[in-house]
A = this chain, B = another copy of it.
Amino acid sequence: MALIVQKYGGTSVGDLERIANVARKVAATKDRGDDVVVVVSAMAGETDRLIGLAKKVSPLPNEREMDVLLSTGEQVTIALLAMTLESMGYKARSYCGWQIPLVTDPAYGAARITAIKKEAILEDVKNGHIIVVAGFQGVDDKGSITTLGRGGSDTSAVAVAAALNADLCEIFTDVDGVYTTDPNITSKACKIRKIAYEEMLEMASAGAKVLYIRAVEFAMRYRVPVVVRSSFSDNDGTLVTEESSDMEKESVRAVTCNTKEAKITISGVEDKPGIASRIFSSLADANIVVDMIIQNASADGKTDISFTLPESDLQKGLEICGKFKEQLEATQISGASDIAKVSIIGLGMRSHSGVAAKMFTALSKEGINIEMISTSEIKISCVINQKYAELAVRTLHDVFELEKSC
């Protein structure tokens, strides 16, 4: 008998029929003899509806009240799902974030989990209840409602699984697992059976949307085995787990592509200490998350700095850099949003040599110019012109023979 945490996203609980479908899946798990804690999102569209209401009140609604408003979305779902389970003859009990409590810092809209009390839930589990938890939400230590931001329900599920020391955390979603690349780009994309936390983390940060970074971080830190699978089929999903010896057999596990970033280049900057620090501090103060940063070596005491940032922050980023133009004696500040970041990821890179060279050669053979490069131990990312994005993904998927790895 295992303790299993299952998470169902907004599409999976999008209407009463789908909630009934989720209830049947949960009940089947319970019938097999396992204890189940279900974490659910707001019904698809509900969060957007609530945001719409708030935006009509004010373009910048009060953040504390925004979280009070948004948290009703999940609260509706937990009540409906628990009711459905009860009407099927199961004992079920819903929990809002504050009822667990799932305690966070007070950063409304993007709160971070600081503690999860397990006693109440475990007591109810012991009494045979199916537990239905509202994802995405928590409570700060002053008793105000908080929300966790994008992907919050995934994070809730993994964090609850960690706190309860669950045997497995199943993330049910509208895709049936993690793929070697986006199947919309190449039909050769195939489902990965097993992937290491580190690889999943790099994939998430490189733009794969199947699991959010913070959820993977939690899973990795607390060693929670996570399965990503479809809520609309019984297919096996992808197991995200600890690295094992067989995982390094392939040099590359997946190719990802992110077209939602933009690039800013500051040219002709005086090459002296403190320049980069000033710019990036200002960007950080404006809550702009900078991804890749490249500073070219300079010969004449001048240098170029390029960096990528979310496309939606390009305008704000350009304004901030503009303020520094004179001070930096920069010759030019330019922005571009027609870029794509293509990445290859794999634990095997650590033991296979020549992976980077193989990547650059393959892109070059297709006439694709590489504008920026950044690497980690298990990832190589190249920024290219966005019009070549799909071509680059297909090329790399082929050259690293990912279709053979599944």
Contacts and interface: CB of A to CB of B under 8 A. Distances in A.
A66 B54 contact: no
Interface string A94-136: 1010110000000000000000000010000000000000000
Given A54-B80, A80-B54, A86 B72 contact: no
Contacts of A96: 68, 145
A87 B61 CA distance: 7
Interface string A60-74: 011011101101100
Contact of A66 (B62, B79, B98): B79
Contacts of A86: 58, 61-62, 65
Contacts of A72: 72, 75-76, 79
Contacts of A62: 82-83, 86-87, 92
Contact of A83 (B58, B82, B98): B58
Contacts of A50: 76
B68 A79 contact: yes
Nearest to A82: B65
A101 to B, nearest CB: 9
Interface in A27-84: 50, 53-54, 56-58, 61-62, 64-66, 68-69, 71-72, 75-76, 78-80, 82-84
A7 interface: no
Tallying the copies of this chain within the complex gives 2
Given A58-B83, A58-B87, A75-B72, A65 B94 contact: yes
Given A16-B56, A57-B16, A98-B98, A75 B68 contact: yes
A53 B68 contact: no
A164 B82 CA distance: 36
A68 B78 contact: yes
A183 interface: no
23 contacts: A16-B53, A53-B76, A53-B80, A57-B83, A58-B86, A61-B86, A61-B87, A62-B82, A64-B94, A65-B78, A65-B82, A65-B94, A68-B75, A68-B78, A68-B94, A68-B96, A69-B79, A69-B83, A72-B75, A75-B75, A98-B98, A99-B144, A120-B143
Nearest to A74: B72
Contact of A65 (B54, B56, B71, B83): B83
B66 A83 contact: yes
Interface in A152-187: none
Which 9 A-B residue pairings sit nearest by Cβ, starting from the closest?
A69-B79, A58-B87, A62-B86, A72-B72, A68-B79, A65-B82, A65-B83, A65-B79, A61-B83
A253 interface: no
B75 A57 contact: no
Nearest to A142: B120
A229 interface: no
Contacts of A75: 68-69, 71-72, 75
